[in-house]
Structure 1
Amino acid sequence: MKNILIPTDFSENSRNAIKYALEYFSDVAVNFYILHVSNKNLNFKEEPENISDFSSEMQTVQSTSALLKEEIRVCQQLSKNQAHAFFPLHENLNLVEAIRKQVAEKEIDYILMGTRGTSKINRSEMGSNTCDVITKVKCPILVVPEHAKFSGIKNIAFLTDYNCIYRNKVITTLSDTLDTHQSPLRVLHIRAQNTGLTASQTDNKGFLHYFFKEKKHSFHFVENKDLEIGIQDFAETWEISLVAVVAKNLNFIQRLLLRPALKSVSYTANMPFLVLHE
């Protein structure tokens, strides 16, 4: 049984991320925790300034509760797996603190987040928080762009510079992902033009080959002054459905996922990223 945490701001993007999660884990027994985080702390131990303020706060709580119930109802309707269970969560902490708390308490295996979206409550963009969660919460995060639609996981790309030996948690999570969808792994080396591997990089590549020797995998490299274009060409050529990257490679994540520099790059519209933590 896996435990999956999905923050929601009740936007269309959040609901799309939930739909993606239900299909992504369609054949897996899962406890789905649907979490809404309010923007401000509501402290009922203090006297409200007036009846109007108290009434407004109560309406906000009631509205959130109703929206969470509706979200759970939709999830139950969309799910085709009887081994899927859904639980609503509401926190008045900031987003990172709330997610950290739930990851610890619920023993969360994956966090699933949409990258953009306009809230029905506060009109904010959830995507603006994604980088904070990636860097400050030590849990695998599946990041789902707002236009992503699940159509199976044909191939998984793992971006690496071969500059470190990946620890067991990274390898285990990546291996679990490959097993879930019976997908081949395409290890993609990002390198500068006209440069070869050092002895250390060659060793680290060898370790990856050893770790995944029982699974279908292959090694590739992209050598392009426009990293985004190189990744897009690779994704199209190899029918990549999911890109995995280690959280410490924040430069990759920022350039490829959160703030692509080239408007001509389209993969961010539909390519989910799996961010791994050591």
Structure 2
Amino acid sequence: MKKILLLTDFSDASRHALQFARSLFGDTVADFHLMCVYPVETDAFYSRKYVTQAAHTAFADQLHEVVAQLRHEAPTDWHTFRSSAYPGTLLEVATQAVGVETYDWVVIGAKKDGTNALFGNSATALIRQLTANVLVVPVDAPIRPVWQVVLAADFASLKNCRLLEPLKELVALKGANLTLLTVKTPGKKIVYADQEARIRQFLAPIEPSVTLAQAPDARQGIDTYLNGHPVDLLVTIPKHKSWSDVLANNSVTRSLAYTPPVPLMVLYDDGHSDEPRLIDDLSNLDFAL
């Protein structure tokens, strides 16, 4: 069973994200946890405790109505629904949630707006901070079968093929076509044959096509590909998460999540490596054997 945390603020974007996720995982047993995070403001006439309780009741009641409707509409019992409402900030509450419970995906709708490109929006904050896979759904994304999936990544830097497992599972389940897109930019490392072979071996029996694009930077290369090819789902693996990277505009995933051109799946990289290790010190040879 897949466990999916869907963050909602009852906006058109979050409602659309829910419908998209239900369709995407329509052939999968899944538990949807709808979570609403609301701010608590002080009031001159009422205590903070009273305001907090009143806000919780109001948002919890709305969630209960949504979940009741979802249960009524569900054509099968493959999908279950539950809800929670918490005070605070979205990032704080979501971080606590994934720390307590393991979710396969955290889903958020993209409104195509935000403070500005530098400070980002809720999606960019979640991708930068959460230790979880994130699905960002544009408010105008069509809900249709997923046939064309593109993994855009720096494959020369991919140290752990196991983080591709959710992508492999999804592509196999959908019978979709998978394209490995790498953008060659000035100074970019070359993907050697053994690295590509290791990726292909992990993805087997899926046989992805490989596309090499050239562009001044990775974002331009991805945009050019998207403009020339039908893509139902774009998948990335973020590398640059520090504030220095943000200020230098190094994070391609961040820019994509801020204004996602298509539904965006972001795979969480915990930094582990499954690459074979070489024995550099012959004095350890007997111990290694």
Give the TM interval when normalised to the shorter protein. Answer: 0.7 to 0.9
Match of 2:173 in 1: 180
| Structure 1 residues 226 and 248, CA gap change in structure 2 (3 angstroms) | closer
Match of 1:159 in 2: 152
State the alpha-carbon separation in 2 of the partners of residues 99 and 166 from structure 1. 27
Match of 2:83 in 1: 88
State the alpha-carbon separation in 2 of the partners of residues 196 and 128 from structure 1. 29
Deviations 1:4-52 (A, max 9, x none): 000111111110000111111111111100001122389xxxxx97447
Unaligned runs of 5+ in 1: 43-47, 119-126, 260-267
Does the CA contact (< 8 Å) of 1:41 and 1:93 recur in 2? no
Q: Is 1:247 aligned with 2:238?
A: yes
| Structure 1 residues 2 and 111, CA gap change in structure 2 (3 angstroms) | same
| Structure 1 residues 137 and 211, CA gap change in structure 2 (3 angstroms) | same
Q: How much does 1:163 deviate?
A: 2.7
Q: Percent identity?
A: 19
State the alpha-carbon separation in 1 of the partners of residues 129 and 209 from structure 2. 31
State the alpha-carbon separation in 2 of the partners of residues 108 and 35 from structure 1. 13
The farther-off stretch of 222-231 and 17-26 is 222-231
Q: TM-score w.r.t. structure 2 length? A: 0.77
Q: Is 1:136 aligned with 2:136?
A: no
Map residues 1-80 of structure 1 onto 2, 5 A cutoff. 1-40=1-40, 50-51=45-46, 56-80=51-75
State the alpha-carbon separation in 1 of the partners of residues 189 and 164 from structure 2. 21
State the alpha-carbon separation in 2 of the partners of residues 138 and 54 from structure 1. 32
Q: How much does 1:172 deviate?
A: 1.2
1:244 partner letter: V
Tell me how large the CA RMSD over aligned residues is: 2.8
The farther-off stretch of 11-20 and 217-226 is 217-226
| Structure 1 residues 106 and 255, CA gap change in structure 2 (3 angstroms) | closer
Deviations 1:178-208 (A, max 9, x none): 1231212100011126x7863x644322221
1:36 partner letter: C
Match of 1:217 in 2: 208
3-state SS, counterpart of residue 127 of structure 2: helix
Q: Give the aligned length.
A: 254
Among residues 152, 165, 185, which one is paired with 1:192 in the alignment?
185
State the alpha-carbon separation in 2 of the partners of residues 214 and 249 from structure 1. 31
1:220 partner letter: T
State the alpha-carbon separation in 2 of the partners of residues 142 and 210 from structure 1. 26
State the alpha-carbon separation in 2 of the partners of residues 33 and 196 from structure 1. 41
Q: How much does 1:168 deviate?
A: 4.3
